[in-house]
């Protein structure tokens, strides 16, 4: 890591023991308890007994690359498959671990864990800390971390912004924040795009969202065929 990397101003708590680095190199300090409670993937990753063991386990991250475009994975039913796997894992292991039952994705991710240092006036110093790098830009990662940290989030501006945040949620496997989207997506900013809204509902099996979107989808009027006039 570069010593010039800086911490996000809302995620610079020196007592937070985990650092997440965005694709752009921005660092986010987050308490491990928050990450473990919100993300099934990070709970598995951070439960390793040491950084060395966690580094060996980095293949877990490599198996869960985010979808490049959210609607492209509609037919895969990925969320519903992971829900079933989560329920099966919970039944087999009350600790909530994933083991090898977790569905895998085909694209490799560029995530890893390494030794790094916490802050020194917003930059890194020589003290070691756990750093997890994820393949996402600052804005969607910031929004998701704000949500799981119970901090205020800015108003949603577009469907593209929602999809970018959901890629982060889906990658980290955060069932709580994803459940919030089920209600947020019914706000006016998203209702203006009913086809994309329907696709979102189909991806996650949200029947109410699909039904609402279908009512908003314009039905083309049939054009009379001159041959039968």
Per-residue pLDDT tens digits for 111-131: 444 443 333 444 444 345 668
Residue 70 has a pLDDT of 31
Q: What is the mean pLDDT of residues 148-164?
A: 96
Residue % of the chain over a pLDDT of 90: 53
Specify if 200 maps to a domain.
Answer: no
pTM: 0.66
Q: What is the rounded distance in angstroms from the CA atom of residue 129 to the CA atom of residue 33?
A: 15
Specify if 204 maps to a domain.
Answer: no
Residue closest to 172 by CA, chosen among 40, 76, 47: 40
Specify if 210 maps to a domain.
Answer: no
Note the pLDDT tens digit of each residue in 83-111.
666 666 566 555 444 344 333 443 434 44
Specify if 28 maps to a domain.
Answer: yes
30 phi, psi to nearest 5 deg: -140, 140
First to last CA, the chain: 72
Q: What is the rounded distance in angstroms from the CA atom of residue 15 to the CA atom of residue 10?
A: 13
78-92 and 194-204 helices cross at what angle (nearest 10)?
Answer: 30
Determine the Cα angle at 161 with ends 158 and 164, to 5°.
Answer: 150
Residue closest to 209 by CA, chosen among 183, 175, 179: 183
Confidence of residue 45 (pLDDT cuts 50, 70, 90): confident
Q: How many angstroms separate the Cα of 75 from the Cα of each of 162, 189, 203? A: 19, 25, 7
Confidence of residue 8 (pLDDT cuts 50, 70, 90): very high
Specify if 72 maps to a domain.
Answer: yes
How many structural domains compose the chain? 1
Specify if 214 maps to a domain.
Answer: no
Specify if 9 maps to a domain.
Answer: no
Specify if 141 maps to a domain.
Answer: yes
Q: What is the rounded distance in angstroms from the CA atom of residue 156 to the CA atom of residue 152?
A: 12
Task: Kindly state the DSSP code that residue 48 receives in the 8-state scheme.
Answer: S
Residue 98 is part of which domain span? 18-184
């Amino acid at each position: 890591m570069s010593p010039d990397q800086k911490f996000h101003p809302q995620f610079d708590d020196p007592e937070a023991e985990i650092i997440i680095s965005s694709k752009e190199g921005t660092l986010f300090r987050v308490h491990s308890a928050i990450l473990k409670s919100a993300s099934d993937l990070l709970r598995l990753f951070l439960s390793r007994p040491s950084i060395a063991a966690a580094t060996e386990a980095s293949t877990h991250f490599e198996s869960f690359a985010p979808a490049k475009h959210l609607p492209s994975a509609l037919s895969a039913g990925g969320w519903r498959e992971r829900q079933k796997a989560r329920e099966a894992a919970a039944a087999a292991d009350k600790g909530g671990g994933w083991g090898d039952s977790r569905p895998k994705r085909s694209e490799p991710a560029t995530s890893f864990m390494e030794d790094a240092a916490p802050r020194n006036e917003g930059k890194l110093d020589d003290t070691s800390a756990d750093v997890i790098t994820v393949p996402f830009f600052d804005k969607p990662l910031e929004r998701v971390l704000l949500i799981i940290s119970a901090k205020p989030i800015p108003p949603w501006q577009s469907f593209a912004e929602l999809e970018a945040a959901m890629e982060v949620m889906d990658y980290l496997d955060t069932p709580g924040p994803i459940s919030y989207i089920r209600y947020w997506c019914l706000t006016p900013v998203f209702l203006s795009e009913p086809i994309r809204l329907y696709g979102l509902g189909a991806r996650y099996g949200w029947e109410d969202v699909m039904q609402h979107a279908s009512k908003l989808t314009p039905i083309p009027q049939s054009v009379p065929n001159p041959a039968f006039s």
